[in-house]
Amino acid sequence: MEKLSGETPQPSLDSCLPEGFLERTKDRGYLVKSWAPQVAVLSHDSVGGFVTHCGWNSILESVCAGVPMVAWPLYAEQKMNRVILVEEFKVALPVNQLENDFVTANELENRVTELMNSDKGKALRDRVIAMRDGAKAAMREDGSSRLALAKLVELITRAPPT
């Protein structure tokens, strides 16, 4: 067991991964042992899709990076967020979850392959890029989000004290 940040012992990666995995992949990728800078990762040009638990921050980060998603919610509001991503925004594919929310490796592989290699995946990618561009426009100095926030601040500061 390894200790990360002097806290709870964590299992070593060698005990969690297939035998020889770290050695076989050391020249082809990068493995983050604890925390990863998700915004930076999603913003990298090589990222073509994101398997997400459908937490709202992760959704916003993915949309702002223009990255389509495979939606795999775990609990609470994440299940409603999946509905929004898949049915309303049309920027994600849902995983088919079995009893107890179990997802098979084959199902996950199929959804990732569909996202990366199909016409539907391309349509999702085009849609999320359009959403990203709209979000960037709204955040510009003359954008709708900036103007709305400025208007709210003005209303609050001009309101008579209660």
Q: Is 132 exposed, middle or buried (0-12, 13-18, 19+ CB in 10 A)?
A: middle
Looking at the fold, whether 91 and 149 belong to one and the same domain comes out as: yes
Looking at the fold, whether 57 and 23 belong to one and the same domain comes out as: no
The CATH code of the domain that includes 148 is: 3.40.50.2000
For residue range 49-103, list pLDDT tens digits in order.
999 999 999 999 999 999 999 999 998 999 999 999 999 999 999 999 998 889 9
Looking at the fold, whether 87 and 147 belong to one and the same domain comes out as: yes
pLDDT of residue 4: 54
Looking at the fold, whether 89 and 46 belong to one and the same domain comes out as: yes
Looking at the fold, whether 53 and 109 belong to one and the same domain comes out as: yes
- CA-wise closest residue to 70 among 121, 130, 19: 121
Looking at the fold, whether 20 and 81 belong to one and the same domain comes out as: no
pLDDT of residue 8: 67
pLDDT of residue 30: 72
For residue range 5-37, list pLDDT tens digits in order.
556 677 788 788 888 888 888 887 777 777 789
Q: Is the dihedral of CA 46, 103, 39, 147 positive or negative?
A: positive
pLDDT of residue 28: 79
Count of the separate structural domains present in the chain: 2
pLDDT of residue 2: 52
Whole-Å CA distances, 128 to 11, 59, 68, 85: 37, 11, 6, 10
Which residues, in sequence order, are bridge partners of residue 18?
A: none
For residue range 129-155, list pLDDT tens digits in order.
999 999 999 999 999 999 999 999 999
Looking at the fold, whether 87 and 144 belong to one and the same domain comes out as: yes
Looking at the fold, whether 137 and 69 belong to one and the same domain comes out as: yes
Distance CA(80)–CA(89), nearest Å, equals 12
Looking at the fold, whether 141 and 65 belong to one and the same domain comes out as: yes
Looking at the fold, whether 63 and 143 belong to one and the same domain comes out as: yes
Looking at the fold, whether 154 and 119 belong to one and the same domain comes out as: yes
Domain limits at 1? Answer: 1-35
pLDDT of residue 40: 94
pLDDT of residue 11: 74
Looking at the fold, whether 81 and 109 belong to one and the same domain comes out as: yes
